Amino acid sequence: MSELLDLSTAQAAQSVRAGDLSPAELLSAYREQAEADELGAFLWLPEEPLGVMGTAADAPLAGVPLAVKDIFCVEGVPTTAASRILEGYRPPYTATAVERLAAAGAPMLGKTNMDEFAMGSSNENSAYEPVRNPWSPDRVPGGSSGGSAAAVAGGLAPWSIGTDTGGSIRQPASLCGLVGLKPTYGAVSRYGMIAFASSLDQCGPITRDVTDAALLLRHLVAGGRDPCDSTSVDFPQEIELPSSEDLGGLRVGVVPELSDAATIDAGVKTVFDATLERIEELGGGVEQISLPHSEHGLSAYYVLAPAEASANLSRYDGVRFGLRSGDGDLLSLYERTRADGFGDEVKRRIMLGTYALSSGYYEAYYGRAQRVRTKIAEDFRAAFERVDLVVTPTSPSVAFRLGERTADPMAMYMSDYCTVPMSLAGLPAISIPAGLSEGLPVGFQITGPAFSENRLLAAAHALEQAIGFDSSPARGKAGAPAR
């Protein structure tokens, strides 16, 4: 069985297709792992294993079960976004992303833990329980898709989907030694994905390797534009399964504003620099470029995302679904429901966003942040006239200890330093594990122009082959985390 869990998803799918493995066997093996979860990775598992379709073996994803972040609505299944305000909520419809992957042959294994409403970088903002990092259980898995990352890293799930608003797929992938891809904004339908900041939110895969990420992305975008999400667009090509082994002729840009920032830990920088050498060994050319406004990305992001969140989260008012508190009048119903139902970080962001949008402050904060966003997008456009891809560290640090950054919101927000500029510009970005520092995984982030996912995946694949990162030390620890 441990060999079964060591198979990459593409390998497992191949065994299923060859008739060496049945989808039911695969599901029950992972189901057993997920039931023994001591990482806090899952918020919900079906009581009975979800039936595998008789045709799963012939489906493109061959019945390989998928862990789904609890931000995706699934009809009749508890969907909380890890918030008390949605405790007991069972949506009347299913998110397009989940529906498409199920139709391609990836049934849902369970719903994974996360930071409440995807707000956080450590998964400590879950209203239910924090998630532990399978590499070291006294450390965080990152966030907000921390449960999705921990489940895959710990071998509780073969692969998963998460969401990324300012780094919520890439940073947990980095901290858990996994591949995490945030697609170009609009590539994947947001229908049924509980909204945090609608102009930034994107769904994407968290997987053990680059090929698995390509496979999931292929089926996430394959159906084309979703009429239920007016911001979704047709992906201009089919997503190819990467086979590239070298980076010959590729021009890669390094951004000193991000990779040399004081916030980047020395151990992370060492792995980053070693990866740049690998790029050159593989035939790629590395040159310095400048994204002069990227250092202001975090400021713009922490105005725009909370501003959008404050509007999106106004729907949680105790009237149509979820929690209701209060004592009599309607105003008290609203104010008490929201006070009781939201956690500290969600309240903080609603306050920040409401303040930034309030009369007298709107132009100084929201208006300026929107202009910074324009400058950041322009910086990237200029950079991509000189280079094919831009690379940075994913996270300024390796996985930090539980509780280490909870007292200081700004210290936590700094986790997103290298990931928010791409989000603001709507660009695709992938994080791959590039090595270890202090025995913990370090991620390497690759970004390209809009809809350049195939280029990104090819480069990531070539680097992955050369790096040969071993993710197995974290697997199988789910049942008995070393303490």
Partner 1 sequence: MIDREQVLHVARLARLDLTKAEVERMASELSGVLDHIERIAELDLDDVEPTSHVVTIENVLRADDSRPSLARERALAGAPDATDSGFRVPSPAAAAAADGS
Binding mask 399-428 for partner 1 (x = CB under 8 A): ---------xxx--x----------xxx--
87/277 with CB nearer partner 1: 87
Tell whether residue 108 is a contact of partner 1 (CB under 8 A).
no
Alpha carbons within 13 angstroms on the beta-carbon side of residue 119 total 30
Q: Which of residues 190-219 bind partner 1 (CB under 8 A)?
A: 199
Q: Which of residues 331-350 bind partner 1 (CB under 8 A)?
A: 331-336, 338-339, 342, 347-348, 350
Q: Which of 322, 352, 346 is nearest to 334 (CA)?
A: 322
Q: How far is the CB of 397 from partner 1 (least distance, A)?
A: 18
Q: How far is the CB of 432 from partner 1 (least distance, A)?
A: 24
CA pair distance 223, 146, nearest whole angstrom: 28
- Contact between residue 164 and residue 423 where contact means Cβ atoms under 8 Å apart: yes
Tell whether residue 317 is a contact of partner 1 (CB under 8 A).
yes
Identify whether 144 is a catalytic site residue: yes
| Residue 18: exposure state from Cβ atoms within 10 A (0-12, 13-18, ≥19) | exposed
Q: How far is the CB of 191 from partner 1 (least distance, A)?
A: 13
Q: How far is the CB of 234 from partner 1 (least distance, A)?
A: 11
CA pair distance 49, 231, nearest whole angstrom: 34
Q: How far is the CB of 108 from partner 1 (least distance, A)?
A: 20
CA pair distance 474, 479, nearest whole angstrom: 12
Q: How far is the CB of 96 from partner 1 (least distance, A)?
A: 15
State the catalytic residue, choosing from 83, 126, 136, 168.
168
Tell me which of 1, 36, 319, 382 binds partner 1, using CB under 8 A: 319
293 contacts: CB under 8 Å, gap ≥ 6: 372, 375, 376, 379
Identify whether 69 is a catalytic site residue: yes
State the catalytic residue, choosing from 144, 145, 148, 160.
144
Tell me which of 46, 368, 465, 479 binds partner 1, using CB under 8 A: 368
Binding mask 55-84 for partner 1 (x = CB under 8 A): ------------------------------
71/215 with CB nearer partner 1: 71
Q: Which of residues 217-276 bind partner 1 (CB under 8 A)?
A: 227, 230-231, 233
**Alpha carbon distances (Å) from 94 to 69, 85, 101, 189, 294:** 13, 20, 12, 12, 36
Identify whether 145 is a catalytic site residue: no
> Residues with catalytic annotation?
69, 144, 168
